[in-house]
């Protein structure tokens, strides 16, 4: 398997006047949403590369995730979360019923009807009201407690660095939240009790869970990409690559967990086999 450049999205300046903070494919793969520091969300047609819709929020946008086809959630610098509903000809936006105190940098959706949001020290869970699913009314259901501190991080700010929904081997619902300085916590989403809390050396900039929920990988700004068993926290591998001091780069499982795709601080993307951790391919921003 090799990646080749398939095309370009049209001139981003048609929609954005400042930097793009996040990109998100729609579940059916037909659209890409770009959310930016100009407080705009642009919806692009993947095949044509054309701009379909523009939504203007009240604050720079830092996170975005599709709840389902046609429904996009965006987190903003002012702590608000917007729900944007799109169709072929129309776009409608509304906000969640309350704001975070801090910028909303992380959003994750489960089954289209439950969301976790991360905003510095705050992590909150939201559920959609079933009677209003089509128009997108969401309610706040709980705040998650901060992680414990130790002698290594007690003077550090608590900052959520990623959040993911998954399931255990026996189909138990789980929520993984990672923190920049405070390791990670795995929650049972039925009882909301912590399954375990594991402090980690290094700085967790980003994380991704394999589709089967058995492993997760973290982007450690000090050591590279580290792989762990989700339910035990056991280290099962490390992918070494050049690490720039205090530069956060993304990493994800892809192709049903068969490969790991990781960014870098030098404009390249690398693809590794997720079993052997052997390199498969390197890509540059220019598409070669």
| pLDDT tens-digit series, residues 128-154 | 875 554 455 788 999 999 999 988 898
Of the candidates 151, 140, 27, 39, which has an alpha carbon nearest to the alpha carbon of residue 86? 27
Which H or E element spans position 91? Answer: strand 91-95
Looking at residue 133, what is its pLDDT? 47
Nearest 5°: phi and psi at 12?
-60, -25
Contacts of 126 (CB under 8 A, 6+ apart): 81, 96, 114, 115, 116, 117, 138, 139, 140, 141
Average pLDDT over residues 32-41: 95
pTM: 0.90
Residue 202 has pLDDT above 80, yes or no: no
Looking at residue 198, what is its pLDDT? 85
What the block records as the tokens of 96 is 């969640």
Average pLDDT over residues 86-114: 88
Is residue 89 left, alpha or beta, with left meaning phi > 0 and alpha meaning psi from -120 to 50? alpha
What the block records as the tokens of 209 is 């869970």
Looking at residue 42, what is its pLDDT? 93
DSSP class of 191: T
CB 173 within 8 A of CB 220: no
CB 228 within 8 A of CB 220: no
| Spatial distance between the Cα atoms of 249 and 144, rounded to a whole number of angstroms | 26
Residue 116 has pLDDT above 50, yes or no: yes
Looking at residue 246, what is its pLDDT? 74
| Spatial distance between the Cα atoms of 131 and 136, rounded to a whole number of angstroms | 10
User: What's the chain's average pLDDT?
Assistant: 88
CB 51 within 8 A of CB 76: no
Residue 245 has pLDDT above 50, yes or no: yes
- The SS3 assignment for 170 reads coil
| Spatial distance between the Cα atoms of 270 and 282, rounded to a whole number of angstroms | 5
CB 95 within 8 A of CB 57: no
Looking at residue 137, what is its pLDDT? 79
Residue 60 has pLDDT above 80, yes or no: yes
Looking at residue 221, what is its pLDDT? 86
CB 93 within 8 A of CB 81: no
Torsion, Cα 25 30 36 39, to 10 degrees, reads -120
Looking at residue 287, what is its pLDDT? 46
What the block records as the tokens of 146 is 């901060």
Residue 162 β-bridge partners: 178
Q: CA angle 207-136-9, nearest 5°?
A: 55
Provide the CA 160 distance to its chain's centre, in angstroms. Answer: 11
Average pLDDT over residues 199-208: 86
Average pLDDT over residues 148-177: 90
Side by side, which strands form the sheet with 251-254?
A: 251-254, 259-262, 268-273, 279-284
- What fold, for 147-288? Methylamine Dehydrogenase; Chain H (2.130.10)
Looking at residue 55, what is its pLDDT? 92
């Amino acid at each position: 398997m090799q990646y080749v450049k398939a095309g370009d999205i049209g001139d981003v300046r048609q929609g954005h006047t400042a930097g793009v903070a996040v990109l998100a494919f729609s579940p059916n793969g037909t659209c890409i949403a770009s959310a930016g520091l100009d407080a705009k969300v642009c919806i692009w047609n993947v095949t044509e590369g054309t701009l379909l819709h523009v939504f203007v929020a009240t604050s720079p946008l830092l996170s975005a995730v599709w709840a389902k086809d046609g429904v996009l959630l965006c987190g903003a610098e002012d702590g608000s979360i917007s729900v944007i509903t799109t169709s072929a000809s129309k776009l409608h936006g509304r906000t969640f019923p309350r704001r975070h105190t801090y910028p909303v940098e992380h959003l994750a959706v489960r089954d289209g009807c439950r969301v976790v949001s991360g905003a510095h020290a705050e992590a909150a869970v939201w559920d959609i009201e079933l009677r209003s699913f089509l128009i997108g009314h969401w309610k706040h259901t709980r705040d998650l407690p901060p992680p414990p501190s130790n002698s290594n991080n007690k003077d550090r700010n608590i900052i959520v660095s990623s959040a993911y929904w998954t399931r255990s081997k026996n189909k138990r619902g789980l929520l993984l939240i990672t923190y920049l300085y405070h390791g990670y916590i795995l929650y049972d989403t039925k009882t909301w009790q912590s399954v375990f809390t594991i402090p980690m050396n290094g700085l967790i900039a980003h994380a991704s869970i394999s589709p089967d929920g058995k492993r997760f990988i973290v982007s450690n700004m000090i050591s590279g990409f580290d792989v762990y068993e989700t339910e035990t926290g056991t280290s099962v591998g490390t992918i070494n690559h050049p690490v720039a001091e205090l530069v956060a780069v993304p990493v994800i499982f892809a192709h049903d967990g068969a490969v790991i795709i990781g960014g870098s601080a030098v404009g390249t993307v690398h693809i590794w086999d997720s079993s052997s951790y052997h390199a498969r391919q390197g890509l540059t921003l220019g598409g070669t």
